Structure 1
């Protein structure tokens, strides 16, 4: 059978390639020389399958798409308090290079605009020099991409020579003591950060690393923690597309980040990473074709953040009463999927409404692949309450996903339902 996803991506690329509106980023000489007809699309799943079409292996500079990933590295290296002390997380509603800071503190409004990105860059390797910061950033970006990335020196020289506005931003930050380094050094380091070469395929894998809770789907490396992923995706959702963030959120509804070289990266938490590359930009600095492609993805694939099917009803895979090996009766509740608060509440409510539970209650979580903190606490508590009512509870948990320790008495742990019903514990 022919693969389905590549054909779909090729169809999206073909239909969006007809739009030749927009213009190259001519204020950066190297970007002004880009081929305007380049167009690549890629999708990476959280288990490592990568689908590409078009110019998906063509290299281009990462530019502002580096911002959320360097923000993640700063949070990891310095901690939340240190980073939030220097950079806020409020949407600015301004273009990416606006000369604006928070009036009372001098903090940039968020890390996705250039002022915030400069402040974020300066938080990396605070005791090191420009080279140490750049090396840490390139290493971190490479971990997200699952391969070693390099810097385009020609693009760096082209961009740093015309970075007058970023120099002004850095000087403003220094005047508020938000930078402790020489402003020009920070601008040079940040420009090198923006000059890292990536492909559309790389961006899809980087997005999938965020979608996978900070674990690279390619290498299996734990690049950042889930808590940092949550913070980064939250800021991307409200600030990642600059002064078109509100329109993007309402029409596309995918946490995303764009760059002036023509890339757009989107993250579907728990599902996949998406990326496009096409150099012609609209008035907001976003790729025209990329925006159109993401609009199609959102509409046709049902990927809008707010378009979520209720998960709770599907958590209980089966309920049945069975005869155990010793002749006693057991109620077996087989659970499945990803269980969060709503799913755990469904389980708790089902048990509360069952006034005739058998003496032995079995919870089979073999087909559960994730349980978040609150859901795990709820399921453990309901097990204890069933025991308090005089029942024996057995958890069938081969992957130890619930982190329950058996007590040798009314709380038991097995690896299969057969063991549970045979009373072999």
Structure 2
């Protein structure tokens, strides 16, 4: 009997993607876009699904590597490039951030300002394409291609036939002329529309969209290439506008059900982002009445439900963020003369160890600070505090500042503080928060505290 070759185990996320894909492959409904012949000829049964984590692990199934034009799914990424190149003040002077309640290509501008209402509708994206770096239309196209390739982690081509077919339409030029007349379009109408249509014609796959979403999830850093594509500080703005405006007239019901910032395109692509965690990319060309992929919406909804991805879902409420160690655990394993051992045993109530674990956000740092301040109220004379951060995962910047303030208060009250963290390179915010800085090894910190105590008593 032939020996069966063992199959490698399947990752649980891959298993879930395969199950969702199999379940939804037969989902009917919707029609393909007819805005260009290539879109109208798309296979309505095509369906690709991919997921990329912020650590760079990609899982894909079905037609995840079939190319299609990105269309409106390009808009959040061009918006990010415009913010990076021109800055918030310049961008918001030309395009707003409010949802419209109108179709994506509606001939509607803000009555008071003449601006496009937001960068996720056609009018707004025409403007943001003007605000990426470049003195000419060709230079802006090159910038957009390079930027989108950076998000995707590979060079992206484009579909000239789709671009030419869509250029024959009058509505985008009508929008551009309205904005030009209102003073919110900073470039020539034809150049502005041509660059926008070029951006929409870039070719991507569902896998690409997942990586692009993961790049936003990772703070603008592509998890496959390591390239910082856009600055981290602008990512919350992009994700916020995606959340409120990204899914056309279906944005409200989408966020209630799925709870993730997302953007769709009329070629059937959908990109969704779970901040700090992952990106999802889907492709299926049959669209609902709002212009969103029927299977893409269903797949993202199912994944959000199955994996608990909704952004407003409370997480980690049962995890105690801080633990005060017993006195016996504050001692190192260093062998010392009996005289020193006796001294340390007599004064071990002046040695303290606090373990911090889990994500360090505002809720958890509040508990940590309260525990430290409460414990220090009873301390008399000089004390030594070791704060063990090795089990801390995600760190919120303002939480670091709050903890640093408490540690500074303790240091000013004759408490010597040492932080223990294995990976100092990932915790640059800790540097300089205490007189002793950070150490990598708990044993070193405990031994240092004992040495300090002994020296103070000699």
TM-score (norm 1): 0.94
> Quick one: which of 369, 392, 395 aligns to 2:416?
392
The structural deviation recorded for 1:387 is: 2.1
Residue 226 in structure 1 maps to residue 232 in structure 2:
yes
Whether 1:371 and 2:395 are equivalent positions in the alignment is yes
**C-alpha distance in 2 between matches for 1:222 and 1:233:** 17
Of 328, 346, 363, the match for 2:367: 346
Q: Does 1:60 align with 2:85?
A: no
Mapping 1:19-418, distance limit 5 Å: 19-125=27-133, 128-161=135-168, 163-310=169-316, 313-316=319-322, 319-321=325-327, 322-324=330-332, 327=344, 328-329=347-348, 330-354=351-375, 355-356=377-378, 359-400=383-424, 401=427, 402-405=429-432, 411=436, 413-418=438-443
1:407 shift after superposition: 7.0
1:308 shift after superposition: 2.3
Distance in 2, Cα, partners of 1:181 & 1:236:
25
Q: Encode CA deviations 1:347-366: one digit per residue, 9 max, x unaligned.
A: 01122332545921101122
Q: Do 2:32 and 2:40's aligned partners in 1 also have CA atoms closer than 8 Å? A: yes
1:254 and 1:186 map into 2 onto residues whose CA distance is 30
Task: State the aligned residue count.
Answer: 421
Change in CA separation of 1:282 and 1:413 when aligned onto 2, cut-off 3 Å: closer
The CA deviation at 1:29 is 1.9
Structure 2 residue matching 1:188: 3-state secondary structure: helix
Residues of 1 paired with 2:131 and 2:292: CA distance?
27
Superposition RMSD on alpha carbons, in Å?
A: 1.9
Q: CA shift at 1:44, angstroms?
A: 0.2
Secondary structure at 1:220's aligned position in 2? coil
Q: Write the distance in 1 (CA, Å) between the matches of 2:160 and 2:408.
A: 62
The answer as to whether partners of 1:45 and 1:208 remain within 8 angstroms in 2 is: yes
The alpha carbon displacement at 1:158 in A equals 1.9
Question: Distance in 2 between the 1:302 and 1:42 partners?
Answer: 17
Equivalent-residue separation in structure 2 for 1:40 and 1:223 (angstroms): 25
8 Å contact kept, 1:380–1:404: no
How much does 1:140 deviate?
0.2
Distance in 1 between residues matched to 2:33 and 2:304, nearest whole Å? 26
* Cα separation, partners in 2 of 1:374 and 1:289, compared to 1, 3 Å: same
What's the TM-score once normalised by structure 2's chain length? 0.88
Deviates more, 1:218-227 or 1:398-407: 398-407
5+ residue gaps, structure 2, are 1-8, 335-339, 453-458
SS in 2 for 1:158: helix
- The SS at the match of 1:101 is coil
Structure 1 gaps of 5+ residues are none
Contact 2:46 2:285 in 1 (8 A): yes
Shift of 1:317: 6.0
In structure 2, distance between residues paired with 1:318 and 1:223: 41
Contact 1:362 1:420 survives alignment (8 Å)? yes
**How big is each residue's C-alpha offset from its partner over 1:259-296, in whole Å with a ceiling of 9 and x where there is no partner?**
00001110001111011110000000000011111111
The DSSP-based 3-state class of the residue aligned with 1:229 is helix
Deviation per residue, 1:359-412 (Å, 9 max, x gap): 21101122324422211111111112222333221111343324333776xx45
2:325 aligned counterpart, secondary structure: strand
